[in-house]
Chains A and B, each alone.
Chain A
Amino acid sequence: MIHTASGVKNLLAALNAAADQEEHGEEDADLVMRATKVLGRVARTGDIIREIKVSSRSLHAPLSTH
């Protein structure tokens, strides 16, 4: 069984890092695709969805700036 909460956070971190690249190549796009597929597969329960959705901010929080 996977450690879901940690795994979700790590995948979100990877997605954030990929998005933060100054230039986005095919490798970054593939990474986003793979990470999203994994997140989509694990996000089948309320607990995991909450983990993804509100780890520190409410739904109405302003957009993050990078």
Chain B
Amino acid sequence: MARPRICTTTFAACTPPLLTRMTHAHTWQAENGVDIYLHVLDSFPDDDRIARIGGKFLSRITGDSIEELIAILREKGVSAAQMERTLALLASLAIEGKSMEDIVHNGGVQALVDALELGLSGKALENTCKAIARIAANARNIQALVDAGAIGALVTSLGSSGATSDSKAQAIEALCRIAANSQYTEAVVAAGSIPAVVAALASDPSNAGLAAACLKFFTTLQKNNFDMDTVAATDGAIAAVVSAMAANPSSQVSSHTSLPPPCSH
């Protein structure tokens, strides 16, 4: 396959490394820009700068398709690949304010919460939870999420067969943002989130993202005056926290110290 013709007269601002990369690129002809950008976002999952600029960029390119994307979530017979792509796009768009508003105003909250119960693949589940977590970043959306049944659906997703450490981390981040509103802290606890989060942490304590999300969740409960002895008394909680801190000694995980020390029990 012939390599793409390199147009060196264009984009004079391109730096030498960028031009070098262009000469080695060969797969763009079979792609479109949106797919390429979703691939980029998937390749830099922990880079907030790229997530934000990417969300802004995709909003410009596909922001007029939000209603259509939400309709796909509600369709029957959608292929797993199509569902995965749709959820990846919605998760990326949800980081940008205007697109997030459009998702909410077009019924996207209920559609995303309902999607959690569709038996999604791990990647699709991760992106669904990521979209919900990003929507939950705006306090004005919490009520809509609660009304849509997000709390129960997120807790259930932690134990679903398709759940991965990354999807669990996103689900717990979403629960954390809902629980941060003191009006809903009890509801999050009542949905069985504590044992579910402990089980998630125990399942992969070496995963820094998951461990940080779990410990941030417990810290959020503590900030809202929840009795942390309840957390500490949950089967396996202390052991899971200790394992996570031991496995991630230099990360943010170790900065979370919300649990009472083990010697108090």
A-side residues, CB < 8 A to B, are 2-4, 6-21, 24, 27-29, 31-40, 43, 49, 51-57, 59-64, 66
Contacts and interface: CB of A to CB of B under 8 A. Distances in A.
B80 to A, nearest CB: 9
Contacts, number: 162
Contacts of B43: 18-21, 24
A2 B172 CA distance: 46
B54 A36 contact: yes
A45 to B, nearest CB: 11
Contacts of B233: none
Given A13-B27, A29-B44, A62-B82, 17 more contacts: A14-B22, A15-B36, A18-B21, A19-B43, A24-B43, A32-B44, A33-B50, A36-B37, A52-B33, A53-B32, A54-B32, A57-B35, A61-B85, A62-B81, A62-B84, A64-B31, A66-B27
Contacts of A61: 32, 35, 85
Contacts of A39: 33, 57
A15 B40 contact: yes
B32 A32 contact: no
B35 A63 contact: yes
Given A16-B28, A40-B60, A63 B47 contact: no
Nearest to A19: B43
Nearest to A64: B35
Interface in B222-263: none
B264 interface: no
On chain B, which size bracket covers the interface?
Answer: 35 or more
Interface of B: 4-7, 9-15, 17-18, 21-22, 24-40, 42-44, 47, 49-50, 53-54, 56-57, 60-62, 65, 68, 72, 79, 81-82, 84-85, 88
A2 B11 CA distance: 7
Given A9-B28, A24-B44, A64-B31, A43 B61 contact: yes
A32 B11 contact: no
A55 B62 CA distance: 14
Nearest to A8: B33
A57 B32 contact: yes
CB-CB nearest 4 A-B residue pairs: A13-B25, A62-B81, A52-B33, A6-B7
Nearest to A35: B18
Nearest to A48: B61
A4 B62 CA distance: 19
A53 B17 CA distance: 25
Contacts of A8: 33
B10 A53 contact: no
13 contacts: A7-B7, A9-B4, A10-B25, A18-B40, A20-B43, A29-B49, A34-B15, A38-B14, A40-B60, A52-B32, A61-B32, A63-B85, A64-B31
A58 B119 CA distance: 26
